[in-house]
Chain A
Amino acid sequence: MTATAVAPAALDAPRLARRTRAVLGWALLVVLGGVLVALAAGRPAPEDYLHPDGTGQGGTRALVQVLRQHGVTVDVVERSADAVAASGPGTTLVVGNTDLLSDTAARRLLAGTTAADRLVLLDASPTVLDALDLGLAARSAATTAGPAGCSASWVHPGDEVTRVTWEIVPTGGALPPGSEGCFPLAGGDAAGAVGYAAVELPSTGSHPALTLVGFPDAATNRFVTESAHAGLVVRLLGGSAHVVWLHADDEDLLANPSTAQEPVWPAWTGPGLVVATLALLAFAVARGRRLGRLVPEPLPVVVRAVETTESRAELYRAAADHARAAAVLRQASSRRLARRLGLAPGVDADALLAAVAAATGTDPPEVAALLHGPAPADEAALVTLARQLTHLEEKVRTP
C-alpha cells in the first residue's frame, strides 16, 4: 500500500478555507436576518403612565399626535440631562411620568432650563413638589374642580376639569408672590388655605416659567376627550413651537441618585463591623497557632507484589493474544498433569496423552484436542478451553 492511496487525515488548506467561508457566510446570513426581523417588528408600545408613545389607556399618544398636527415638534427624551440640553428659548419642557424622577434630577432640571419658555410638570406629585421647595405642596384631591378663575393664557374662562388627582396648596398660607392658582378646589384644609388643581409660577433667576398641573389624567388617552381637557392641555403644551417631553427612565434615576433618603443601617454598624472583624482576626490567630510543628512520617516503599502479574494480564488482554494465553494455559496444565501422573517433567507429548486418557477414561483424540489443539479464535473459545483444562485436571485428581 502506498502513501498516496490513503486520504489525508487532516483537511488540506484549500478545503479548510472553503469550509470556513461557508460557515462564516451562513453565520452572517443568520445575523442579518435577525436584525431585519428586529427592525420590522419595532419596539412594542410602552405601557407606562403618561408615556408620549403609549397607546394604552394611561398613555398620551393621542395628545402628542394632536400637537404634531398643529405643527408642534415633539421630542421625547428619557434622561433629564438630555432634556436640559434640548431646552432653550422657544421650547416647552414637559415632564410626564415622575415615578422615576429623583429629587436630584428634578432640582437639576429646574435650575438648568431657565432659558426655556415654560416647564410643565404634568404630574405634580407630592414627592416632586417636596423636592423642588417652591413653597408648594400637593395632596390627594377630589376628582372635580370648579371654573378656572385665573388669567393664564392657556385657560379659557368656563373651562372645567373633571379628573383632579393632586390638590396643590401653598405651604406658607398664601401662594408665592407673582404666582397664580387656577381651578380652585372647594373646601380647603383645616388652616383654611385654598388648594388649586394647577398653579402658574412666573420665571425667576432660578427657574423658568412653571406650570404645575394636578390633573395628569386629563392628558391620558382615556380622559383627554372628557369635558374641556383636550383644549386645555393642547393650549398648555402647544404654547411653543418645540416641545421636549421628558419621560425619565431607570438609568436617569441611577445617574441622579437621591440625597434625601434616610440611611438604612444603624449608626453603630461601621464601628461594630470593625470590632467584629478584629475579633474574627483574633479568633483566626488563636485557632491557627499550632501546638508545635508537624511531624514527618518516614514512609516505606509501597509496591504490590502482584502488580507485575496484573500488568501481564492487561498486556495479554490489550493484545487479545488468544493463542499465547491458550499456549500458556495448556503448558501449565500439561506440567501439572505430568507431575500428578508420576511422569518425568520432560516426558514426550504422546506418553502424556496416553497416560491422561487412561487416567480419566476419555478418548485420546479428545485429550489431544484439549492439550494440543488449534489456538482458540476468540475470547469465548479461550474461556471454554480454560474451563475444560480445569475440568480435565480435576478428573485426574479425582478419577
Chain B
Amino acid sequence: MALTTRAAALLLLGLVPVVLRPAASTVLAWVVLWLLAVLADLVLAASPSALRLTREDPALQVRLGEPVSASLVLENTGGRHATGLLRDAWPPSAGGSPSRHGLAVPPGERRRVTTVLTPTRRGDRSADRVTVRLAGPLGLAARQRSVEVPGRVRVLHAFPSRRHLPSRLAVLRELDGRAAVRTRGQGTEFDSLRDYVDGDDVRSIDWRATARRRHLVVRTWQPEQHRRVVLVLDTGRTSAGRVGDAPRLDAAMDAALLLTALAGHAHDRVQVVAGDRRVHARVAGSDRARLLHDVISTLAPLDAQVVETDWGVLAAEVARSTHRSLVVLLTPLEPAAVEEGLLPALPTLVAHHRVVVASVSDPLVEAMRTAREGSAEVWDAAAAERTAALREGTAEALRRLGVDVLDAPPDELPVRLADHYLALKREGLL
C-alpha cells in the first residue's frame, strides 16, 4: 500500500476541530476518522493484480544514439476502474523517458504505455520490474505491486565508420573489374575472354585465342574471391583503456565491422572471434547481409574484461582451419602485454597465415608529445616520447616476425585497416 500527500493534508485539516475544541479526545477522534477513510479507500481501490501486463516486443534492438519505443499493454481484467501510476523501470543507461506514466484503464479494456529508450551505452540492458500503483476513489491511499515483465534492449555499436564504406566499395569494384579499368596482377584469377576494346592493356591480349578467333581477344581477371578473413578482437584488460569517451574495444569493433562489410562485398569468408581468457563470441558466414547483422548483434553485449588475454586460446581458434587466411588481430600495442602474451603465439600463426595487428593509439599521447611550451609540458613530452618509442619498438618486433602493424587513432583505424585490406587484395597477397 501507499499513502498519498492528500491523506497527509486531510490529517492536517484536523487542526480545525482541535482549535475549536482543544482536547486529546478530539485528536483521537480525528485520527480514527482519518484511519477509517484511508482504510475504506484502500479497500475500494482496484487490485493491481487484476491488471495483466504484456510487453509488446521483449527483445528490442537499437543502434547507439537512436531512440526506440518500449511498449507495455495493460488489460484490466478486474471490475473496477484502475487509475494511478505505472513505472516501467530500466537501468539508467537505457535512458527511459518518461519515468512514470499516468494510468486510467476502465474495466475490461486495454491500454498501451510507451517508454522511449535512448540508450547511452552499448550492450544489453534488461528491463527491471514494472510497478503499478492504483489509487482508491478518494485518492487517499493506493495499492502497489511490482511484477517482472521480461524485456531487453540490445544496444548495437553505432558503427560510425560505415560512412567510409561507399568509397571503399568503389575501390573494390575497380579491383573487381566491374568498372572500366581492369587490373592485372599476380593475385588475380583468370575470369573470361572478351573482345578487345580501345583502352585495354595490350599486355592482356590472349594471342592464342586471337589467332583462333581472327580478331583481338583479351583475357580478363578478377581479384581473388572466397578467401578467408579472420578478425580477432582482444577483449582483455588493455582494450578497456579509454581513448576519448569510449574504450579501445569500441574503436576496434568499429574497424572490425567496416572490414566485415567490405570483405563481405568482396565475397570473402569472414570469421569474427572475440575473447580474452576464453572466446566470448564467434561469428562466421559468407552471406554478407546476414553476416554484418550477426556480427553487430553478437558484438553488442561484449565489454572489455579486466583479465590478461590468453593468446594461446585465441590463436587456437584461428588455427581451426588450415586454409591460408588474412588474420587481423585487433589489440592495443601495449609493449608488456604484447611481449608477454602475443609474441610467443605469433610464429605459428605467421607460418600459415597473413597476420595484421591493428592497434588503437591515443591522440592524447600524440598531443602530449608535441606540446613543449613550459616545464610541465616538457616532462609530459618526454614521457610521451618514451611511450611512443616503446610502442615503436614493439611494432618493430612484430614486423620482424612478418606481421603488418597498423597503429592509428580511433577515427582513423577503420579506414586504415580497410585500405590495408584493399592493398593486400590488389596485390593478391591474401
Contacts and interface: CB of A to CB of B under 8 A. Distances in A.
Interface residues of B, number: 71
A317 B379 contact: yes
A348 interface: no
A296 B93 CA distance: 10
Contact of A306 (B18, B100, B364): B364
A300 B121 contact: yes
B22 interface: yes
Interface of B: 2-5, 7-9, 11-12, 14-15, 18-19, 22-24, 26-27, 30-31, 85, 87, 89-93, 100, 121, 123, 128-131, 133, 144, 146, 240-243, 247-248, 303-306, 332, 362, 364-365, 368-370, 372, 374-376, 378-389, 392
Nearest to A291: B87
Contacts of B247: 300-301
A368 interface: no
17 contacts: A274-B24, A279-B12, A283-B5, A289-B2, A292-B146, A293-B89, A297-B91, A300-B240, A301-B304, A305-B241, A309-B365, A315-B383, A316-B382, A379-B375, A379-B378, A383-B372, A386-B372
Interface stretch (A79-87, A195-203, A264-272): A264-272
Contact of A332 (B23, B241, B389): B389
Contact of B128 (A278, A287, A295, A382): A295
Given A272-B22, A316-B382, 15 more contacts: A275-B18, A282-B11, A286-B5, A286-B7, A295-B128, A298-B123, A304-B241, A305-B242, A305-B364, A309-B364, A309-B368, A313-B379, A313-B382, A313-B384, A386-B372
A291 B1 CA distance: 11
Nearest to B306: A301
Contacts of B374: 383
A18 interface: no
A271 B27 contact: yes
A292 to B, nearest CB: 3
Contact of A382 (B5, B305, B378, B389): B378
Nearest to B246: A300
B4 to A, nearest CB: 6
Nearest to A289: B2
Contact of A312 (B5, B31, B93, B383): B383
A68 interface: no
Contacts of B243: 305-306
A274 B27 contact: yes
B91 A268 contact: no
Contacts of B372: 383, 386-387, 390
B240 A325 contact: no
Contact of A297 (B19, B92, B133, B242): B92
Given A275-B18, A279-B8, A286 B3 contact: yes
Contacts of B365: 306, 309
A390 B303 CA distance: 40
Interface of A: 266-268, 270-272, 274-276, 278-280, 282-283, 285-287, 289, 291-293, 295-298, 300-310, 312-317, 324-326, 328-329, 331-332, 335, 379-380, 382-383, 386-387, 390
B33 to A, nearest CB: 12
A282 B37 CA distance: 14
B85 A291 contact: yes
Contacts of B240: 300-301, 303
A270 B23 CA distance: 9
A107 to B, nearest CB: 31
A291 B242 contact: no
A328 B382 contact: yes
A278 B90 CA distance: 35
B61 to A, nearest CB: 18
Contact of B381 (A298, A302, A329, A331): A329
A279 B27 contact: no
B101 to A, nearest CB: 11
Contacts of A289: 2-3, 144
A282 B306 contact: no
Contacts of A274: 24, 27
B310 to A, nearest CB: 18
Contact of A292 (B23, B131, B242, B368): B131
